[in-house]
Amino acid sequence: MTIRVLLADDQALLRQTFGILLSAAPDMEVVGEAADGAQAIRLAREQHPDVIVMDIRMPGTDGLAATEAICRDPDLADTRILMLTTFETEEYVARALRAGASGFLGKTATADELLEAIRTVAAGDSLLSPQATRLLITRYLASADPASAPSPDALAELTTREREMTALAAQGLTNEEIATELVLSTHTVRTHIQRAMTKLHARDRAQLVVIAYRSGLVQP
């Protein structure tokens, strides 16, 4: 299956560079390029890409506003958004997740990491870089009411393997990295992570990470 990708970045050189990289991947196809958020929204509705690689800081409609508009559109329910930015800040990570982004990656990522991130969100998984994970946890722990923190008993329903994978996910590892660490298939890892999310009533991977920290499974 070919992953159809839309690139949204206000820097033409970066769009061209990313376009060359993605076009060289046998499982990807660039279906459009946008220089700002408004254009990204329009092209998303025209092309229905599988994944949008979205910069945050763009003139006019920025990437966060565009992400929110796209994620609210029922006709684009199958489109996933990967935020790619130079500025991995606590505020941006939180706002991107609230807007509906499926992944958050810094522009310091390698070419291979970018390609794998696109494949991860295209498969329906969420992805947070280690830096984004740390920022997210810092924000949630700082604002959380200690009385509302899940007790260790909240993890009692998880199997040993599910607990192990939840802990690794809380450290910012992707499914592929967890699979390598535990010598398992990516499909097996995805299945265990999904089961852990279901048992803990986590709406997404980000919330699963927060639960892992609040319950004491992983220490900040």
Q: Residues 197, 199, 202, 206: is their CA dihedral positive or negative? A: negative
Residue 192's pLDDT band, with cuts at 50, 70 and 90, is very high
Mean pLDDT, rounded, for 204-210: 74
Mean pLDDT, rounded, for 67-80: 92
Specify the pLDDT at position 130.
60
What pLDDT digit, counting tens, does each position of 42-66 carry? Answer: 999 999 999 999 999 899 999 999 9
Domain 3-135: give its CATH superfamily. Response regulator (3.40.50.2300)
Q: How far apart are CA 173 and CA 153, in angstroms?
A: 24
3-state secondary structure of 3: strand
All CATH 3.40.50.2300 domain ranges in the chain, comma separated: 3-135
Out of 17-26, 131-140, 164-173, 180-189, least confident range = 131-140
Specify the pLDDT at position 162.
94
Specify the pLDDT at position 116.
87
Q: Mean pLDDT over all residues of the chain?
A: 84
Q: How far apart are CA 59 and CA 76, in angstroms?
A: 23
Q: Is the pLDDT of residue 152 over 70?
A: no
What CA–CA distances, in Å, run from 4 to 29, 79, 118?
5, 10, 10
Specify the pLDDT at position 89.
67
All CATH 1.10.10.10 domain ranges in the chain, comma separated: 145-214
Specify the pLDDT at position 28.
96
pTM: 0.70
What pLDDT digit, counting tens, does each position of 99-150 carry? Answer: 888 888 888 888 998 998 899 888 877 666 666 666 665 665 555 554 444 5
Specify the pLDDT at position 138.
61
- Tell whether domain 145-214 is in CATH 1.10.3720.10: no
